[in-house]
RNA sequence: GGUGAGAUGGGUGAGUGGCUUAAACCAGCAGUUUGCUAAACUGCCGUACGGGAUUACCGUACCGGGGGUUCGAAUCCCCCUCUCACCGCCA
């Protein structure tokens, strides 16, 4: 959520910046500015009215004590007309503010200056490429074929147990999952991230805090009996640790990492995009989350990108780093770097990580603040990134490391896996 | 699942209709003083929004959430949510 202060002080800036996201904000911004003005006017009137009532009530108390019944009765009738007026003012003030809020949540976050122009994913900026694309023979297989031949991932069994998009990992396939999770967590904690294991179900307030609710409700699994939501990413519970918190300057930096299964309903999309591990309803992911002072958040972002790159390098996969263009940037992000690995047998790039700075957009909704050197409360900045999402890492590993129908496990992963070949 | 007790500031916790502008203690911050790990004393010490001479000061709201009674509600009434304890069940 953008701050009213910014919208009030520089509406044209907001409109201009949101155009980079191909979002025409003029109409909404102008309405917001008008509603903000009436909000303040209504509050002033209401405050004055309430203040008079309070004074009168105190007077009545004093008159009663002195036994001046008649005067007290007269004052009472004055209060009742004031009370009626304040009820009206309160009603229109509530209505005004509700409307203001409903418009405010429609505005996406402002992209930062680094975000390139562009309308969709085809215009994302490749900022770096690394790793070696393997030379695969003509008999190279896509990962779903390999997984079946080696009997390490059973998609059909998942359908029996739950449904499409809930694979069952077996044998070395299951062990590989565990190995990757442990490796990622170890690398993250070594870099100073505090490991946390959060609940994988959250309440409504947490869903609101990170912005999944109310609009993206349909993307989460909802346990209606208890009104809990299965987390779509560890970002939700981990960031909400700091919901409604005022930090001190010396609490920074805050660096956390968490492994959770992630649950996404994600309707739509057919064919090869959702084949095998490319898109699932349940998958494993290790996440990193940071909370920073505004002046440090971009340095933190660079650090996170370098950190994720380090992990990808250890796996030895061919990768590229993209800076998302305005049109492809998510609603809440100010800037996002995507990591993609090349899946040789499918001949396509698979997204395995997304590292974003949300600046104060999430913090405003979370009411996550800190006290600066002057003792004033300011919104903090939040950032997060995947480090990493497993399924597509596994997909790329299987496809890129295949040799004669077997998988050669990357060096760095072997101590965790306990085997060299599948 | 059953029974009971609760929800007050960063923490503990008082407060059964106006004397609450939420006591007191702890923690925190600033200062004073005393020759040693520290103590004593004094002052400050919530959030949001609005006004404003924009670090002053003033107003309003907030005692889990929502409604109600009343001239006046932390306090009385109703609904909801959550927490804790004990019993039952249980990895």
pLDDT digits over A103-124, tens only? 998 999 999 999 999 999 999 9
The whole-number Å distance from A249's CA to B86's C1' is 44
* CB burial readout A48-82, b (16+ within 10 A) else e: ebeeebeebeeebeebeeeeeeeebeebeeebeeb
The overall pTM is greater than 0.80? yes
Q: Where are the domains of chain A?
A: 4-104, 121-417
How far, in Å, CA of A67 to CA of A73, rounded?
11
Mean pLDDT over the full length of chain A: 91
Q: How far is the CA of A374 from the C1' of B33 (A)?
A: 29
pLDDT (mean) for A270-296: 88
Q: Do domains A4-104 and A121-417 have the same CATH topology?
A: no
- Using only C-alpha atoms, what is the Rg of chain A? 27
- pLDDT tens column, A313-348: 999 999 999 999 999 999 999 999 999 999 888 889
Residue A148 has pLDDT above 90, yes or no: yes
Å from the A268 CA to the B66 C1': 39
Nucleotide showing the shortest C1' distance to residue A53 CA: B71
List the A250 CA – B40 C1' distance (angstroms): 30
- What span, in angstroms and rounded, lies between the C-alpha atoms of A197 and A365? 23
CATH numeric code, A121-417:
3.30.930.10
pLDDT of residue A377: 87
Alpha helices by DSSP H, listed for A21-68, are: 26-66
H or E stretch at A101: helix A69-104
Give the tens place of pLDDT for each residue, A180-204. 999 999 999 999 999 999 999 998 8
Q: Which fold has domain A4-104?
A: Helix Hairpins (1.10.287)
* Of residues A322, A353, A352, A341, the one with CA closest to residue A399: A341
CA trace torsion A169, A261, A111, A116 (10° rounding): -10
Interatomic CA distance for residues A300 and A7, integer angstroms: 27
Half-sphere exposure of A287 (CA within 13 A, CB side): 25
Whether pLDDT at A274 is above 80: no
- Using C1' positions and the CA of A73, the closest nucleotide is B71
d(CA A397, CA A399): 6
| pLDDT tens-digit series, residues A227-271 | 889 999 999 999 999 998 888 888 888 999 999 999 999 755 566
* Protein-proximal positions, strand B, CB < 7 A: 18, 47-51, 55, 59-61, 71-72, 82
Contact yes or no for A279/A145 (Cβ under 8 A): no
Confidence of residue A63 (pLDDT cuts 50, 70, 90): confident
Estimate in Å the CA A80 to C1' B18 gap, whole number: 18
A382 or A225: which leads in pLDDT: A382
Nearest-nucleotide field for A65 (CA, C1')? B18
* pLDDT computed for residue A136 by the predictor: 82
Given this model, what pLDDT does residue A321 score? 97
For residue A268, the model assigns a pLDDT of: 58
How far apart CA A14 and CA A31 sit, in angstroms, is: 13
pLDDT in tens, A78-102: 888 888 888 888 888 888 998 998 8
Å between A217 CA and B74 C1'? 37
Minimum CA–C1' distance nucleotide for A78: B71
A223 Cβ contact list (under 8 Å, min separation 6): A201, A229, A230
Cα separation, A174 vs A153, in Å, equals 8
Q: What is the pLDDT of residue A313?
A: 96
pLDDT-wise least confident of A14-23, A45-54, A60-69, A245-254: A60-69
Contact (Cβ atoms closer than 8 angstroms) between residue A328 and residue A305? no
CA distance A392 to A22: 29
- Residue A22 or residue A66, greater confidence: A22
d(CA A414, CA A180): 10
Of A397, A385, A384, A413, which Cα lies nearest the Cα of A319? Answer: A397
pLDDT at residue A53 is higher than 90: no
Q: Decide: helix, strand or coil at residue A182.
A: helix
């Amino acid at each position: 959520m953008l701050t009213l202060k910014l919208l009030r002080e520089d509406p044209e800036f907001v409109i201009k910046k949101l155009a980079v996201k191909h979002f025409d904000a003029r109409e909404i911004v102008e309405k917001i500015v008008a509603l903000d003005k009436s909000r303040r006017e209504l509050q002033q009137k209401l405050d004055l009215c309430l203040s008079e009532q309070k004074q009168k009530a105190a007077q009545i108390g004093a008159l009663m004590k002195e036994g001046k019944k008649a005067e007290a009765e007269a004052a009472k009738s004055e209060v009742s007309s004031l009370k009626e007026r304040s009820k009206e003012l309160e009603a229109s003030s509530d209505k005004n503010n509700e409307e203001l809020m409903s418009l405010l949540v429609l505005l996406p976050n402002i992209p930062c200056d680094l975000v390139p122009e562009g309308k969709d994913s085809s215009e994302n900026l490749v900022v770096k490429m690394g790793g070696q694309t393997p030379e695969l023979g003509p008999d190279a297989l896509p990962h779903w074929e390999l997984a079946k031949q080696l009997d390490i991932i059973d998609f059909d069994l998942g359908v029996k147990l739950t449904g499409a998009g809930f694979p069952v990992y077996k044998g070395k396939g299951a062990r590989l999952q565990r190995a990757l999770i442990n490796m990622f967590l170890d690398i993250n904690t070594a870099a100073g991230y505090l490991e946390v294991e959060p609940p994988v179900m959250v309440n409504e307030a947490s869903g609101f805090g990170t912005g999944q609710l109310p609009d993206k409700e349909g993307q989460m699994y909802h346990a209606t009996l208890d009104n809990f939501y299965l987390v779509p990413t560890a970002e939700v519970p981990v960031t909400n640790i700091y919901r409604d918190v005022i930090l001190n300057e010396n609490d920074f930096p805050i660096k956390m990492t968490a492994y959770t299964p992630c649950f996404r309903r994600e309707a739509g999309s057919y064919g090869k995009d959702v084949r095998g591990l490319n898109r699932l309803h349940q998958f494993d992911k290790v996440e990193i989350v940071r909370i920073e002072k505004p002046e440090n958040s971009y340095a933190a972002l660079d650090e996170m990108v370098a950190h994720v790159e380090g992990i990808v390098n250890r796996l030895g996969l061919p990768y590229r780093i993209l800076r998302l263009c305005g049109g492809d940037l998510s609603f809440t992000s100010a800037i996002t770097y995507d990591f993609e690995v090349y899946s040789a047998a499918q001949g396509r790039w698979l997204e395995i990580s997304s590292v974003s700075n949300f600046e104060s957009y999430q913090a405003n909704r979370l009411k996550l603040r800190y006290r600066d050197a002057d003792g004033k409360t300011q919104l903090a900045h939040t950032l997060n990134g995947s480090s990493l999402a497993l399924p597509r890492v596994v997909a790329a590993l299987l496809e890129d490391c295949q040799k004669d129908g077997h998988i050669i496990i990357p060096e760095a992963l072997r101590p965790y896996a306990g085997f060299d070949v599948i």
